[in-house]
Amino acid sequence: MTERTPSRRTTATAPPAFPKPGHNHARCAAEALGKAEAVCAARGTRLTEIRRQVLETVWQSHVPVGAYEILAQLNAGGGDRPPSQNSRALTARGGPPSQNSRALTARGGRHAPMAVYRALEFLMDNGLIHRLASLNAYIGCAHLGEDPHAAQFLICRRCGTTAELKSAALNRALDQAVTERGFTIDSQLVEIGGICPNCRPNHRRPKS
């Protein structure tokens, strides 16, 4: 929200790069998790096991992931962490596993959708992830630790990779266009679909 004039020239030719296919993503994820812990510590909120698992799942890649996919991975034991030992709270009822097609409960698995949605809500409230309305999916925040920000997203329709933009110039243009009409901004949603540089081989990149 705070627009600061850069004391140093923002390099017009070297904006933050779009995530590249071969980049060291383990490092992305590890950094994100580390920063997330710091953010939570600073805010006095608790990055519990399930929240951390969901965050890790979101950070598996730069492709947004849906809530029910997160749920499936959690219940499949996904991620590199051991599953919760809280299995005693599972179906100890002794009944046969009902194969209800709408079985939302964790009869055979572990978690119900609520668990995921609660974790997602927590992560969003703490600025650790964003929701992409055009995809009904979630992605890790690329600007952890910065002020709560209104972000823009570039979504590649080919590989799914999504980059967070956070362009001050764009925010200025937006603010001006909107204020002209007497409107006061609370929230913004900017999601741009298209082809990312990695998926467009003919694209000439100034530096690589």
Partner DNA sequence: TTGTAAATGTTATAACATAACATTATACCA
Partner DNA sequence: TGGTATAATGTTATGTTATAACATTTACAA
Q: Which of 131, 204, 119, 188 is nearest to 162 (CA)?
A: 131
Residue from 32, 106, 155, 163 binding DNA (CB under 7 A)? 106
**What is the dihedral angle through the alpha carbons of 197, 55, 153, 200, rounded to the nearest 10 degrees?**
10
Confirm or reject binding of residue 86 to DNA (CB under 7 A): yes
Confirm or reject binding of residue 123 to a copy of itself (CB under 8 A): no
Confirm or reject binding of residue 194 to a copy of itself (CB under 8 A): yes
> What sign does the dihedral 43-44-46-47 (CA atoms) show?
positive
Q: Supply the Cα-derived Rg of the chain in whole angstroms.
A: 20
Comparison of 7 and 101: residue with beta carbon closer to DNA: 101
Separation of alpha carbons 97 and 186, rounded Å: 47
Which of DNA, a copy of itself, none does residue 186 bind (CB under 5 to 8 Å by kind)? Answer: a copy of itself
Pattern 129-148, binding to a copy of itself, x per CB under 8 A? ----xx--------------
Asked if 205 contacts 197 with a C-beta cutoff of 8 angstroms, the reply is yes
Comparison of 90 and 195: residue with beta carbon closer to a copy of itself: 195
Confirm or reject binding of residue 46 to DNA (CB under 7 A): yes
- Which one of 2-10, 117-125, 140-148, 155-163 is the stretch in contact with DNA (CB under 7 A)? 117-125
Residue from 101, 176, 184, 187 binding DNA (CB under 7 A)? 101
Q: What is the DSSP letter of 105?
A: S
